[in-house]
Every structure is written in structure tokens, then in C-alpha cells.
């Protein structure tokens, strides 16, 4: 409103605002009605048949039986042969990364940091944001750019401004670890190489890094509380801790003071214990969780974002050191999710996509969640209303209810019988606008 800028008289400013409102208020958008053969609304325990969802100005206005009185003249989208769900939420993504397979990951990661300029990385991020939406993920929590600085903030802004298609995003920017606690590594000590995160040592540097990241647009701060994991000769897993408790507390204190939250990458061992002691809000991966740990997580209300599927991409041959480690990691990880569910730990869907290519289905995570003890409905709610709760967006996303963003997806088939149908999302709407409709319904 440039004409109003600098006006100090309240009365005059009010006149200006009123005049502008009259001049610029667009005509109300047409009403849309979606007919849903089956509706899974994100919070209810059961699905409902033959529902109609009324959408106005990008929001859900009402939900109810399809045979009730509906607004006249509405545009009707007939999904009466499909199952409609809230737009899905992936609470652990990396839009700035697109690693092909785990076996290539180490080399590809080095190439990404050493050979891909920021402009190239931003193109990847742009395509990844589109890819998320194509697959029905209308909201994501993007947990660090892996060396691409604050590019995620730029992608988020470009999406919000409508410059590029993409999901609602919460972003973590650079992430934080300690010296010796992140890639790139293994180069000659004389060679300076970039790091995939911001490195800090000591609570003063830790707090400063958190402040910098928050100042530059981080909605979350991500910390790495463990780095390398390996097997002992007896076959037990050990996990290298990174930040000290004192360093982590400086970060959580700062971030919580800003009213934001801290996501902790933690596999197990002392680093994971420090994460819980230091007040982190979500444990990412949580590969090795014992009974005492899950009990503490449940008591503290700490979220678990297990990211199972990424650990099944391209294992090394059985019997090789890497192959043995990968199989042990998957075995321990699955048992940890079962243990966490039994203890009542809050679980949010996260795929770690980017760690595997955005070309592959993000929704493959659902199958793993079900394999390790969740019902299909629990897994779906982990990717809808529960993930929304983690993101502080309850009622806004992850639910089909009055007042929520009109973010909707539809699939053929019944995801409560087979969660794999979620890998083939045929209809995507974000904020009331159809982004994709391969179900042929109109
Ligand atoms: Zn990750």
C-alpha cells in the first residue's frame, strides 16, 4: 500500500485503507464442491462414505453427507469413485538434495557440495518442491539444506508468492553440528572443504548460530546430536555424539525463546540422551531406542520422526561390513519404532526424501510404518493431523474440516486396506486450487 506509507493521522489512514479495500477487494472466488466417495478426514477413527466438501476462498467451508443442500452454482469435482484425504505432510524432507541411491550417496554428496553451484542447487530445490506437490504432499518440514545456506527460505518464499508450485513449507536452513560432527570429511587436513551444516564449538557459538539461522528465516533449528554409527566386533551399535549438553541447551533455550522448535538428528547412545536432556522437540530417525528412552520421550512429549524407508534403499551385499551394518541398523530401527508405539510416543511421518531421489515415491514410508506396528489409519494420521500438531498447524492442515486450508488429495482404492495406494495419488488440491487431476474426474 505505497500511497498510505508514512501517513500518521489515524483518521486519514483509515480512510485510505477503506478506499483501498473497496478498490482492490477481488470478487469472491467461485465455490467448489468435491464429492468424495470415501473421506478419510485426518482425525476421525473411521472413514465416511459419500461426503461433500464445500470449498470457498481456499478454505474448507463445510464437510458433510453429499445429499445435503449444497451451494447453487458451485463448480463440482466428482471424486465419488475415489478416496479423499487431507493433503499429506512429510515432516522430514530435503528439497535442496536429490541423492540417487544410498550406495552412491557418499560420492554424490561430495559432488553436490564441491561441484554444484548454488544456482544449480536452487533448480533442484524448485523441482523438488513441485515433486512434493505432485505426490500429494501439500505441507513439508524441510530439515536442512546440506550446504545450500538459506536457499530453502528462498524456495519457501517463491512458493508462497506463487512463483513456483510447491507445498506449504517450514524450513530449518543450515542445521548445526560440532567440529568432527559432519560431512565433508576425510580430505587432507590442509584442504579446506565446505561443510553440510554450520559447525559450532562451545555454547556461545552454538547460541550465535541459532540466532543467525532464526534471523535469516529458520522456522525450525535442526541439530545433529550423533554423527557416525558403527558396529562393535560383538555386533552392537555405537553412535558418536556431537554437541555437548551445554551446547545443545544454549540452542534450545534460544530457539524456544523465539517460540520455535528444535529438531534433533539422533541415532542412539549418549547423543540421543543429551537430545532428550537438552529439551529437543523431535527426535529424527531414532534408530536405537531402549525402553527407558521411549518412556522418557512419552513422558516429555518428544516427537519421533522415524524416517524408515530411506534406510532400505540399495543395501551393500550381505556379509560385507557395510552390508552387515545396514541390515543391523534396519533391524534395530524397526524394533525401536515398535517399542516407541507401545510406549505411546507421538510419531510423525517423515521420509528423509532427498536422501533418496525425489523421483521415487515419498509415500513408500507408509508401508514401513505399517510393517513396524502402525495401523494404516495411524500411519495416515501420522502424515496428516499428527504431523500438523508437530508443526503447530493443527486445524490448518492435515485435516478436512471447516476452516482448514483446502489441501486435499485423492487416490483410487482403499488406503486403509493397502497403504501402497498412497504412492499413486491421482488428485492434488492446494489452497482450493487443483494442481493435478489424473483421476479424470471433473
Ligand atoms: Zn534428513
| 74-120 pLDDT per residue, tens | 999 999 999 999 999 999 999 999 987 544 567 889 999 999 999 99
Q: What percent of the chain is modeled with pLDDT above 90?
A: 89
Looking only at the bridges linking them, the beta strands covering 32-39 and 75-86 are parallel
HSE, CB side, 13 Å, CA atoms: give it for residue 185: 10
| Residues sharing a CB contact under 8 Å with residue 311, sequence separation 6 or more, in sequence order | 102, 326, 329, 330, 333
Q: For residue 183, report the distance from its CA to the centre of ligand 1, in Å.
A: 13
What does the pLDDT read at residue 5?
A: 38
How far are the Cα atoms of 148, 176, 263, 419 from residue 98, in angstroms, in the given order? 13, 21, 21, 25
Average pLDDT of the chain?
Answer: 93
C-alpha of residue 232 to centroid of ligand 1, in Å: 25
Neighbouring residues of 186: CB distance < 8 A, sequence distance ≥ 6: none
Say if residue 1's pLDDT is above 60: no
Residue 321, pLDDT > 60, answer yes
Return the pLDDT at 441.
52
Residue 24 has pLDDT above 90, yes or no: no
Distance from residue 97's CA to the centre of ligand 1 (Å): 10
Q: Which among 400, 417, 297, 413 has a CA at the least distance from the CA of 87?
A: 400
Give the pairing of strands 32-39 and 346-347. unpaired
Q: Residue 275 C-alpha to ligand 1 middle, in angstroms?
A: 16
Distance 143 CA to ligand 1 centre (A): 6
Question: CA 186, 189, 192: angle at the middle one, nearest 5?
Answer: 90
Ligand 1 center to residue 236 CA distance, Å? Answer: 23
| 193 C-alpha to ligand 1 centroid (Å) | 21
pLDDT class of 132 with cuts at 50, 70, 90? very high
Q: Over the stretch 386-404, which tens digit does the pLDDT of each residue have?
A: 999 999 999 999 999 999 9
Report the separation in Å between the CA atom of 306 and the middle of ligand 1, taken as the mean of its atom positions. Answer: 10
Query: How far apart are the C-alpha atoms of 277 and 271, rounded to whole Å?
Result: 10
Distance 355 CA to ligand 1 centre (A): 7
What is the rounded average pLDDT of the residues 63-83?
A: 96
Cβ contacts of 101 within 8 Å, gap of 6 or more: 313, 314, 356, 357
Ligand 1 centroid, distance to 344 Cα (angstroms)? 24
d(CA 258, CA 263): 15
Distance 182 CA to ligand 1 centre (A): 13
Q: Which string of b and e fits 206-225 if b means at least 16 CB within 10 Å?
A: bbebbbebbeeebbbbbbbb
Tell me the residues surrounding ligand 1 (ion) with CB < 5 Å. Answer: 352
Coarse DSSP helix, strand, coil percentages of the chain, rounded to the nearest 5 percent: 35, 25, 40
Map residue 152 onto helix, strand or coil: helix
For the cut 60, the answer to whether the pLDDT of residue 334 exceeds it is yes
Dihedral in degrees, nearest 10, Cα atoms 277, 282, 285, 288: 30
If you average pLDDT over residues 63-82, what whole number do you get?
A: 96
Beta strands 433-437 and 32-39 are: unpaired
CA–CA–CA angle 181, 266, 292 (5° rounding): 140
Question: What does the radius of gyration of the chain's CA atoms come to, in whole angstroms?
Answer: 23
What's the confidence (pLDDT) of residue 29? 66
14 pLDDT band, cuts 50/70/90, is very low
CB atoms within 10 A of CB 438: 13
Q: Which of 164, 170, 152 is nearest to 92 (CA)?
A: 170
Give residue 101 CA to ligand 1 midpoint distance, Å.
14
Quote the ligand 1 centre to 376 CA distance (angstroms): 24
How distant, in Å, are the alpha carbons of 26, 62, 275, 324 from that of 403?
20, 8, 36, 50
Q: Which of 119, 128, 126 has the alpha carbon at shortest distance from 99?
A: 128
Cα distance between residue 223 and residue 215, in whole Å: 17
Question: Closest by alpha carbon to 66, among 41, 34, 31?
Answer: 34
Give the neighbor-by-neighbor strand order of the sheet with 88-93.
Answer: 88-93, 137-142, 168-171
Distance, CA of 317 to CA of 423 (rounded, Å): 27
Q: What is the pLDDT of residues 178-187, one digit of tens each?
A: 999 999 999 9
CA of 352 to the centre of ligand 1 (A): 5
Q: How confident is the model over 216-239, as a mean pLDDT?
A: 96
The answer, yes or no, to whether residue 25 has pLDDT greater than 60, is no
Q: What is the percentage of the chain residues whose pLDDT exceeds 70?
A: 92
Q: What residues contact residue 180 under an 8 Å CB cut-off, 6+ apart?
A: 227, 242
pLDDT value at position 233?
A: 92
Tell me the pLDDT tens digit for each residue of 277-317: 999 999 999 999 999 999 999 999 999 999 999 999 889 99
**Residue appearing with cell numbers 477503506:** 18
As a whole number, mean pLDDT of residues 131-135 equals 98
Q: Which three cell numbers stand for residue 37?
A: 466417495
- The three cell numbers of residue 324 are 552387515
Q: For residue 93, how far is its CA from the centre of ligand 1 (angstroms)?
A: 6
Q: Is the pLDDT of residue 9 over 70?
A: no
Q: How far is the CA of 94 from the centre of ligand 1 (A)?
A: 7
Amino acid at each position: 500500500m505505497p500511497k498510505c506509507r508514512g501517513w500518521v493521522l489515524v483518521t486519514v489512514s483509515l480512510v485510505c485503507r477503506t478506499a483501498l479495500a473497496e478498490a482492490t477487494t477481488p470478487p469472491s472466488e467461485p465455490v467448489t464442491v468435491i464429492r468424495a466417495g470415501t473421506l478419510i478426514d485426518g482425525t476421525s477413527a473411521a472413514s465416511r462414505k459419500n461426503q461433500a466438501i464445500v470449498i470457498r476462498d481456499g478454505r474448507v467451508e463445510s464437510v458433510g453427507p453429499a445429499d445435503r443442500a449444497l451451494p447453487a452454482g458451485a463448480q463440482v469435482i466428482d471424486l465419488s469413485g475415489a478416496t479423499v484425504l487431507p493433503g499429506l505432510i512429510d515432516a522430514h524432507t530435503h528439497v535442496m538434495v536429490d541423492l540417487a541411491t544410498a550406495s552412491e550417496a557418499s560420492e554424490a554428496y561430495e559432488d553436490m557440495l564441491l561441484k554444484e553451484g548454488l544456482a544449480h542447487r536452487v533448480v533442484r530445490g524448485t523441482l523438488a518442491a513441485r515433486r512434493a506437490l505432485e505426490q500429494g504432499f501439500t505441507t513439508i518440514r524441510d530439515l536442512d539444506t546440506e550446504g545450500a545456506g538459506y536457499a530453502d527460505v528462498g524456495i519457501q518464499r517463491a512458493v508462497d508468492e506463487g512463483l513456483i508450485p510447491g507445498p506449504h513449507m517450514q524450513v530449518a536452513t543450515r542445521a548445526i553440528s560440532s567440529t568432527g560432527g559432519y560431512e565433508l570429511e576425510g580430505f587432507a587436513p590442509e584442504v579446506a572443504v565446505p561443510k553440510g551444516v554450520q559447525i559450532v564449538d562451545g555454547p556461545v557459538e552454538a547460541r550465535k548460530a541459532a540466532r543467525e539461522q532464526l534471523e535469516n528465516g529458520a522456522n525450525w533449528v535442526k541439530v545433529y546430536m550423533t554423527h557416525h554409527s558403527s558396529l562393535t566386533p560383538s555386533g552392537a551399535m555405537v553412535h558418536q555424539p556431537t554437541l555437548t549438553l551445554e551446547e545443545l541447551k544454549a540452542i534450545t533455550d534460544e530457539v524456544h525463546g523465539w517460540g520455535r522448535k528444535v529438531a534433533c538428528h539422533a541415532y542412539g547412545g549418549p547423543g540421543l540422551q543429551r537430545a532428550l536432556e537438552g529439551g529437543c522437540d523431535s527426535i529424527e530417525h531414532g534408530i536405537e531406542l531402549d525402553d527407558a528412552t521411549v518412556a522418557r520421550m512419552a513422558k516429555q512429549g518428544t516427537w519421533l520422526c522415524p524416517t524408515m524407508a530411506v534406510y532400505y534403499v540399495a543395501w551393500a551385499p550381505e556379509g560385507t561390513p557395510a552390508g552387515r551394518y545396514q541390515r543391523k541398523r534396519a533391524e534395530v530401527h524397526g524394533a525401536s519404532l515398535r517399542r516407541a508405539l507401545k510406549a505411546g510416543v507421538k510419531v510423525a511421518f517423515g521420509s528423509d526424501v532427498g536422501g533418496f531421489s525425489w523421483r521415487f515415491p515419498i509415500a513408500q514410508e507408509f508401508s514401513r510404518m505399517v510393517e513396524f506396528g502402525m495401523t494404516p489409519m495411524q500411519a495416515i494420521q501420522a502424515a496428516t493431523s499428527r504431523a500438523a500438531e508437530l508443526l503447530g498447524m493443527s486445524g490448518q492442515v492435515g485435516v478436512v474440516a471447516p476452516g482448514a486450508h483446502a489441501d486435499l488429495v485423492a487416490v483410487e482404492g482403499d488406503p486403509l486396506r493397502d497403504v501402497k495406494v498412497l504412492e499413486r495419488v491421482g488428485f492434488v488440491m492446494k489452497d482450493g486450487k487443483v494442481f493435478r487431476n489424473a483421476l479424470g474426474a471433473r
